[in-house]
Structure 1
Amino acid sequence: MKKKVLIVQPIHESGLKVFDDRFEVRVAPDPSVETVKREIKGVEGVIVRTAPFTREIIAAADSLKVIARHGVGVDNIDIQAATERGILVLNTPDANAVSVAEHTLTAIGALAKRVLPMDRATRRGDWEVRNEYKAVDLDGKVLGLIGIGRIGTLVARKAIAAFNMQVIAYDPYVRPEVAARNSITLYHELDRVFREADVVSIHTPLTAETRGLVNEARLALMKPSAFLVNFSRGGVVDEEALYYALKEGLIAGAALDVFADEPPRHDNPLLQLDNVLLSPHSAALTEECVVRMATGAARGVVDVLTGKRPQFVVNPEVLKNEV
């Protein structure tokens, strides 16, 4: 009998090709909780992108063995519920690091050189904008990273190589000597990064500890000339506090690829500001990265369902319980 696999949201066709004739693969009609609850019956493996994969869905599953996240962050999956049921949760942490790091550096450069304001001014015939001298050089400036996992470390390397930036960071899970090998100065005080950095870039998962981490108090610590970049999760930043800081000139600008609500509401005031660069949670969605994520997630499901040990397990305690 073929093993049933459910794709909650469409993935690149390269991922589908990973499954051979041992598997019956189908894509859910839509990613709503009610639909997935109905579709999950008899399914042994799931691939999910950004749709919520809730305790309710997991409770409705009668055969599920593995949930593979098409990407890195797993805050949309109820890990505890999966673990309680002995269901492995996988992700693809190597797939999107380069893409997100490149997007981050691109955004930092665009903010510093005022690429979008200059473009808009040129199109409307405002040639004299060139004499405002508001663009800044990044050479020698301080990049502050919150989180130096795979993505944060790549951002540091690229910022040093491309812009000759100094890099400081806060990450309580990284040893100073590991950071030093990547020319990163690790601080033990989070607030110190916000005070000293010319650019603060967030690369941390959304957890109980990081939710609202960038708040009114921390934004007030930043230099008026500084930029904030958030390509992690929207919930890490207090959007109301960020709007106030940008509108009042407490910081110079921001780049956001993620939002508290996705897509953001039409009345989100951040959408009205000229000093914020926005993208639709697309930092990882390059041609190359979607292939890496799709094939990586699919291989993880195949590994589990054919009795092999998967490479990237989010809840390894499930494996220990099987021993």
Structure 2
Amino acid sequence: MSEYKIAVVNSSSFGQVFKEHWQELEQIGEVKRFMLPTDIDGKTLAETLHGYNIIIASVTPMFNQEFFDNKDDLLLISRHGIGFNNVDVKAAKAHGTLVTIVPQLVERDSVAENELVNLLTMVRRTVPAAERERAGRYEDRAEFMGNELSGKTFGVIGCGNIGSRVAELFSVFGGQVFIADPDPKAPAGWLKNHNVQHVDLDTLLKNCDYVSLNASLNDGDYHLINADKVALMKDGAYLCNNGRGALIDEDAVLAGVESGKLAGYAADAVEVEPVPADHPFLKNDRILLTPHTSAYTYECLHGMGEKCVSDVKNVIADKPLVRELTSTLA
């Protein structure tokens, strides 16, 4: 194929910070950015991207069976991120389309560190305290009581590439760290070195002061944290989620925060993005939302962009694609 058209779909960051990535693609063919509705149907998506044979894809929209049934020639979908959640990989294969993701190690530190930042920001009520100071209300400072993390009990649900890094960061506070994962990849030596214990989900929820959600999203994990699971949690526990928004039942978590069962909830993802302005989470100062920016570090975005450009170059040169890297735990 001598003519390439590249669509960058719903990624507001690719080629923006590191413009050289966009310029490298322009040396290959026409490049155009598309910002499309997150819930666009597959047929309309295919029609919109007609003629584009390479796609750099963000976390939305859904490249589903309907999309592939209606799409013309498509060589590659290179995810500008980790996970295949929004791509029907089986339909892609039947269509003859290659699908790649950013290796998990590229995002590991960035996402895990952001989760800890969001949790600490919520626990110490940093945002409302700073806003009050900006308003010249120094005398209100006694309203912003927080909690310490040192010596507390931590839980990590999903101990893969990112979850394992979150567990490592939690371990520096000196408390017990529990992980719940049906198939943890961490070796026994790693568990011992970081004071980590493998337990079932209910045991984790009943015992932890701080709980981090890092599971991948599949049929079994949809609304993994629901009303029953919130009821199991320790009174006054904090919950944070840098995985997928649909891992929680938002109504159940909101009810938990409003009742005081949960002391707070911090998340970088919600089930439907972008977050509507009237979302109840935005009206509660015990809930902290960030706009899916866990990967927004210079180091991470550079690595993500490099991988996408490499995917495109390798496809047109008919070279093998690097699909994944293995996490190394020590």
Tell me whether 1:172 sits opposite 2:163 in the alignment. Answer: no
> How far apart in 2 are the matches of 1:20 and 1:125?
50
2:210 corresponds to which residue? 199
1:296 corresponds to which residue? 307
Q: CA deviation at 1:126?
A: 5.3
8 Å contact from structure 1 (residues 213, 236) kept in 2: yes
Tell me whether 1:281 sits opposite 2:292 in the alignment. Answer: yes
Tell me whether 1:85 sits opposite 2:95 in the alignment. Answer: yes
2:10 corresponds to which residue? 9
> How far apart in 2 are the matches of 1:24 and 1:73?
26
> How far apart in 2 are the matches of 1:208 and 1:182?
33
Could you say if the C-alpha distance between residues 54 and 45 of structure 1 is closer, same or farther in structure 2, counting changes exceeding 3 Å?
A: same
Q: CA deviation at 1:176?
A: 6.0
Matched position secondary structure for 2:187: helix
- Give the residue type in structure 2 aligned to 1:264: V
Worse overlay, 91-100 or 25-34: 25-34
> How far apart in 2 are the matches of 1:269 and 1:159?
29
Q: Give CA deviations for 1:91-118 in whole Å, capped at 9, x if unaligned.
A: 1123222111111111222222222243
Matched position secondary structure for 1:228: strand
Q: CA deviation at 1:312?
A: 1.6
Could you say if the C-alpha distance between residues 175 and 298 of structure 1 is closer, same or farther in structure 2, counting changes exceeding 3 Å?
A: closer
Tell me whether 1:64 sits opposite 2:71 in the alignment. Answer: no
RMSD: 2.5
Matched position secondary structure for 1:252: strand
1:212 corresponds to which residue? 223
> How far apart in 2 are the matches of 1:301 and 1:253?
42
Q: Percent identity?
A: 30
- Listed as ranges, the gaps of 5+ residues in structure 2 are 326-330
Worse overlay, 107-116 or 224-233: 107-116
8 Å contact from structure 1 (residues 6, 46) kept in 2: yes
Q: CA deviation at 1:200?
A: 0.6
- Give the residue type in structure 2 aligned to 1:49: S
User: Pairwise mapping of residues 190-269 of structure 1 onto structure 2 (< 5 A)?
Assistant: 190-269=201-280
> How far apart in 1 are the matches of 2:144 and 2:293?
31
> How far apart in 2 are the matches of 1:248 and 1:54?
39
1:27 corresponds to which residue? 32
Q: CA deviation at 1:124?
A: 5.2
Q: Give CA deviations for 1:42-67 in whole Å, capped at 9, x if unaligned.
A: 44321101221232332233322221
Could you say if the C-alpha distance between residues 304 and 288 of structure 1 is closer, same or farther in structure 2, counting changes exceeding 3 Å?
A: same
1:38 corresponds to which residue? 47
> How far apart in 2 are the matches of 1:245 and 1:50?
28
Structure with greater contact order relative to length (CA < 8 Å, sep ≥ 6): 1
Q: Give CA deviations for 1:225-253 in whole Å, capped at 9, x if unaligned.
A: 21000111111110000110000001101
1:152 corresponds to which residue? 163
Q: Give CA deviations for 1:115-158 in whole Å, capped at 9, x if unaligned.
A: 22433444456555554683221111122111122211221222
**Could you tell me which of 73, 86, 93 is aligned with 2:83?**
73
Matched position secondary structure for 2:222: coil
Q: CA deviation at 1:4?
A: 3.3
Could you say if the C-alpha distance between residues 5 and 116 of structure 1 is closer, same or farther in structure 2, counting changes exceeding 3 Å?
A: closer
2:56 corresponds to which residue? 47
- Listed as ranges, the gaps of 5+ residues in structure 1 are 315-323
> How far apart in 1 are the matches of 2:195 and 2:78?
32
Give the TM-score normalised by structure 1.
0.87
Give the TM-score normalised by structure 2.
0.85
- Give the residue type in structure 2 aligned to 1:44: N
> How far apart in 2 are the matches of 1:120 and 1:4?
46
Could you say if the C-alpha distance between residues 67 and 108 of structure 1 is closer, same or farther in structure 2, counting changes exceeding 3 Å?
A: same
- Give the residue type in structure 1 aligned to 2:302: V
Q: Give CA deviations for 1:23-81 in whole Å, capped at 9, x if unaligned.
A: 21311444355664235444432110122123233223332222111001322222231
8 Å contact from structure 1 (residues 14, 291) kept in 2: no
